[in-house]
Amino acid sequence: MQLKPKPIRARMGVATCALLQAGAHASGSEGWDIDTAVLIYAEADSRVAALEPAIHASKQLNDDNSIDLQFVVDVLTGATPNGAHASSVAQTFTTPSGSGTYTVAAGDTPLDTTFRDLRYAINAAWDRTLNRLTRLTLGASLSSESDYQSAGVNANLTRDFNHRNTSLTAGIAYNSDTVKRNSGEGEDEGGASLFVRTGGGTPVPFSPMLAPVTLPGGIIPPNPDGKKNVTELMLGVTQVIDQNTLIQLNLATSQINGYQTDPYKLLSVVDPVTGLPDNTALLNINANALPYVYEKRPDKRRRNSLFFKGVHSFGEDVLHLSYRYYWDDWGINSHTLDMRYRYQMQASYLQPHIRYYTQTEADFYRHHLVQGTDVDANGNVLVDYASNDYRLAPSDTITLGLKYGYPLSSDSELGFRVELITQTVDNSGIPAGEETPDLNAIVFQANYSLVW
């Protein structure tokens, strides 16, 4: 899928934290530093579940060169919200392939239970010491899944000052992505060809969802795949305060151009009096129209963030504290507070983690569209953009976690991490029974690190 649950995403990019980077380069290890991990992510109520094995390897080739390699696999299954809202009546939707339907009971949030995906991602970086005070890092990334492909490159230049107590970093990254929708021709129980709305491309924004019907001429040709590109710039400074304290400040901005609509997400079209799904006007566009239209988002987005992090050592214990402020031209503003405290025991350590995230809604976030106001008598949508994706809604998220690490030898460590995530969407003004439910999830990760 185009968008994955945030806790399982780790990308080597231009905004990667550079804190303690200088110390890592000074190690001069002749072997490979290898980190392996298996992460399990599971949402309550049989929603999205993910299994993610990953391996990361780095090596200091000589005094001036080092490399980083990372390979990740994501396996996702379960059910994900399709964008329509719960209703007091049962609702029937067409599957993404267009060859079948699924029905949601009255009062239940519509979930697409056909959700499946498999993603492969590889990242590589080469770090070169240009002189005693300057380092250059060049990186590349590739990821592929059934409905989303991405390729990117990035470069960072770091310069040390003030007796190497101050580091300035400038970076640039570029990604080119292709978006499509899993879709294909199917057959009904009698073997007849079924009508497929998009055949593998992306649906026309604000076009109605269509019921599967027999089409003698075969399937309609697919719409084009969506294309987008992302350019990101970053400036950062890392400062050594004293022998126990480091601070970092990063400013990042990115420009996204191209297709940014989620090809699977819908909006309900409702009657202004009853509030029930209503396809009366949409039938004027297509006789097989259901009371739902595909969402539409702007094709341009400017994203900005200001990130601050501090690390302080209390002898053997270490405190990590960070704050991030984010804003974009879609109207979303967010604040993120994150704290980790590593408590060293006799041999092992515990690291509790707490994270708080809050965001405002996108300017075009809509719970539904109203017949006669947002949709005219001919079935045309009258607003410029609209989406009921809960990820664009006003929300608060709290993460509580604990990690346990135990060194097996001087060159290896075994660790376990568990986190509980609760997301609450602001349902102010939403009719009773149509609210977006809270999201509860658990993350478990086991990792093994060694020098090889």
Residue 26 Cα distances to 158, 232, 335, angstroms: 15, 29, 34
Can you tell me the mean pLDDT for 184-210? 58
State the pLDDT at residue 99.
74
Distance in angstroms (rounded) separating the CA atoms of residues 352 and 339: 8
Q: What residue spans define the domains of the chain?
A: 6-451
Per-residue pLDDT for 19 more than 60? Answer: no
Backbone angles phi, psi at 61, to 5 degrees: -70, -40
101-104 and 91-94 beta bridge pairing: antiparallel
Per-residue pLDDT for 5 more than 90? Answer: no
Backbone angles phi, psi at 344, to 5 degrees: -85, 125
In the chain, % of residues over pLDDT 90 = 79
Give the pLDDT confidence of 66-116 residue by residue, as tens digits. 999 999 999 999 999 999 999 999 999 998 877 788 999 999 999 988 788
Largest CA distance in the chain: 78
State the pLDDT at residue 374.
97
User: Hey, what are 13's tokens?
Assistant: 């990019």
State the pLDDT at residue 214.
52
State the pLDDT at residue 222.
57
State the pLDDT at residue 133.
96
State the pLDDT at residue 14.
32
Residue 202 Cα distances to 235, 256, 284, 399, angstroms: 36, 18, 22, 34
Nearest to 45 by CA among 86, 79, 83: 79
Can you tell me the mean pLDDT for 438-449? 97
pTM for this prediction: 0.88
Per-residue 3-state assignment (H helix, E strand, C coil) for 258-322: ECCCCCCCEEEEECCCCCCECCCCHHHCCCCEEEEEECECCCEEEEEEEEEEEEEEECCEEEEEE
Give the pLDDT confidence of 358-412 residue by residue, as tens digits. 999 999 999 999 999 999 999 999 999 999 999 999 999 999 999 999 999 989 9
pLDDT-derived band at 1, boundaries 50, 70, 90 = very low
pLDDT-derived band at 186, boundaries 50, 70, 90 = very low
Give 226 or 222, the one with higher predicted confidence. 226
Per-residue pLDDT for 286 more than 50? Answer: yes
DSSP state of 99: S
Give the range among 7-11, 122-126, 443-447 with minimum mean pLDDT.
Answer: 7-11
How many residues belong to the chain? 452
State the pLDDT at residue 439.
96
Per-residue pLDDT for 16 more than 90? Answer: no
- The mean of the pLDDT values for the chain is 88
State the pLDDT at residue 190.
35
State the pLDDT at residue 223.
72
Residue 449 Cα distances to 10, 32, 36, 412, angstroms: 17, 10, 6, 5
369-370 and 266-270 beta bridge pairing: parallel
State the pLDDT at residue 365.
97
Give the pLDDT confidence of 225-260 residue by residue, as tens digits. 899 999 999 999 999 999 999 999 999 999 999 999
Give the pLDDT confidence of 249-258 residue by residue, as tens digits. 999 999 999 9
Return the CATH number of the domain spanning residue range 6-451.
Answer: 2.40.160
